[in-house]
Amino acid sequence: MPTQQKPPPIEYEEGSGNVFADLGLEDADALFTRAPIGFHVYALLKRRKRKQRDMAKLLGIAQPEVSHLMNGHYSRFTADKLLAFLRRLDQTVIIQIRPHRRGEPYQEVSFAA
């Protein structure tokens, strides 16, 4: 019986926890913050099953901007604008600030169930 050769070890690099920083993007921290907030806005809008023109009216933006939002182009909006969308969607936003603990990310966005 022929002996089986072991496959070569897989090379990998440990991520930082911020994919945007790992990709070397300039505004990595801002993008890291906006992405989950933007996705949450998207999910809330998707659940409402409305036409984009109705979403635009609700959010106070033009319909083409709603299209960008629904297509995941969250970098087109500031964090403040995305937070304003959450308020218009009747969501409570809580920002918590505390001392950094070693080994944890410096910023995190989480959502209540």
Which residue type, as a one-letter code, is found at position 96? Q
For the entire predicted model, the pTM comes to 0.77
Tokens of 6: 């072991």
Q: Is residue 7 part of a domain?
A: no
Q: Is residue 107 part of a domain?
A: no
What CATH number is associated with residue 55? Answer: 1.10.260.40
Q: Is residue 84 part of a domain?
A: yes
Tokens of 36: 């989950």
Domain count within the chain: 1
Q: Is residue 39 part of a domain?
A: yes
Q: Is residue 106 part of a domain?
A: no
Which domain, by its residues, includes 46?
A: 19-88
Per-residue pLDDT reduced to its tens digit, 61-107: 999 999 999 999 998 999 999 999 999 999 998 888 889 888 877 77
At 72, is the secondary structure helix, strand, or coil? coil
Average pLDDT along the chain: 89
Q: Is residue 14 part of a domain?
A: no
Q: Is residue 4 part of a domain?
A: no
Q: What is the pLDDT of residue 104?
A: 78
Q: Is 98 exposed, middle or buried (0-12, 13-18, 19+ CB in 10 A)?
A: exposed
Q: Is residue 5 part of a domain?
A: no
Residue with tokens 């087109």: 76
